[in-house]
Amino acid sequence: MDHSRAIHAFATLGHPDRLAVFRLLMRFVPQGVRPTEMAEALGLKQNTLSHHLADLAAAGLVQVQREGRSLYYSVDLDATEGLIGYLALDVGRARPDLLPALQNPQEPIMRDTDFDVLFICSGNSARSIFAEALLRDLGQGKFQAFSAGFAPKAEPDAFALDVLKRNGHSIEGLRSKPLAEFQKPDAIVMDFVFTVCDTAAGEECPPWEGQPITGHWGLPDPVKATGTDAEKALVFAQTYAMLRRRIMAFVALPFESLNKLALQHGVDAISTEALKAEKV
C-alpha cells in the first residue's frame, strides 16, 4: 500500500464509530453484513452508519455487494492486508521485537496433540451445543470440542437434546456455559473459535490468547421457531443438518499438510460454500 492510501485509511479508521464498524465486519469475514444488522449491533442510527460505510468504502477498506433487495458490506481483505503490511513492514521496519505474532506465517500447524475448538452462540442452548456434540463424535479423536454463550440459558433446549439423541449422540455432560468460563487466566488455549450465530459474531470480545483460527457459521436460532411441536422439531433438525455439513467439511481438512494461513482459508471456504449450497 502506498503512503497516500495508507494515510487515507488510517484517517478513516481514526473515528471511533468507523473503527467499530470495521471491527464488526472483520468478525463476520468472509460473510457480508446488512446495514440494519450493523446498526442494531452497534447502536448507530441508519443515516450515521451510511456515512461511515461510505467513508470506509472510499478508503478502500470495505466493499458492497447486492443480493436481491439487500446490500451486504464486507471487509476488503486485500486492502486490509496491504494496510497491515504497510504498518508492519514500512513503518515498523519489520523489527522482530515488534512483530512476534507475525513471524513464520508458513509454519505448519500439525502437532501430536489434539485441537481445542470452541463454538459460541448467544444462548448456548442449541446451535453451539449441536456443534460441540457433532465435533466430539465426528472428529475421530483429533479434537476437544467446547461451547459457550454470551448470555447462556439455564440448560440446553429440550428440542436440541432430542435431536442429538435421535441422531445417536450422547448428551451426557452437555450444559449451557458462559463465555467467561473460557476467558479465565488458566483456561484452555483454543486452536479454533467459531461463532455460530450473528449475535455472537457481533459481540465485542477481547483477542483470544494464542491467536486461534476463527470462523463464522451464522445460522438462525431454532429456539425462536414458532408453530406446533412438530414444526419446531423440524427447524431444530434442519439446523442440526446444516451444522453437520459444516463439521464434516471441517474435520475433512488436511490438517497434517496445511499451515495456519491455509487452514484459515479452508475454514473461510467452508462458510462460503455452505451458504451457496443452502441458497440453491
Note down the domain range covering 203.
Answer: 115-279
Give the pLDDT band of residue 258 (cuts 50, 70, 90): confident
pLDDT at 276 over 80: no
Q: Would 109 be classed as within a structural domain?
A: no
List the CATH number of the domain containing 52.
Answer: 1.10.10.10
Give the number of other Cβ atoms within 10 Å of residue 227's Cβ: 10
Domain identity same for 91 and 198: no
Q: What is the pLDDT of residues 218-240, one digit of tens each?
A: 899 999 999 999 999 999 999 99
The pLDDT of residue 110 is 47
Give the number of other Cβ atoms within 10 Å of residue 279's Cβ: 7
The pLDDT of residue 107 is 54
Residues of the chain above pLDDT 90, percent: 66
Q: Would 217 be classed as within a structural domain?
A: yes
Q: Would 107 be classed as within a structural domain?
A: no
SS3 278: helix
Q: Give the three cell numbers for residue 202.
A: 457481533
Domain identity same for 92 and 121: no
List the CATH number of the domain containing 233.
Answer: 3.40.50.2300
Q: Would 186 be classed as within a structural domain?
A: yes
Domain identity same for 98 and 141: no
The pLDDT of residue 248 is 95
Average pLDDT over residues 237-259: 92
Average pLDDT over residues 2-14: 93
The pLDDT of residue 280 is 57
Q: Which of 43-57, 89-103, 134-148 is the least confident region?
A: 89-103
Q: Would 43 be classed as within a structural domain?
A: yes
163-155-278 Cα angle (round to 5):
40
Domain identity same for 122 and 56: no
Give the pLDDT band of residue 96 (cuts 50, 70, 90): low
Average pLDDT over residues 243-267: 90
**C-alpha 90 chain-centroid distance:** 30
Q: Would 108 be classed as within a structural domain?
A: no
37-12-38 Cα angle (round to 5):
5
Average pLDDT over residues 18-45: 93
pTM: 0.77
Out of 79, 102, 125, a domain closes at: 102
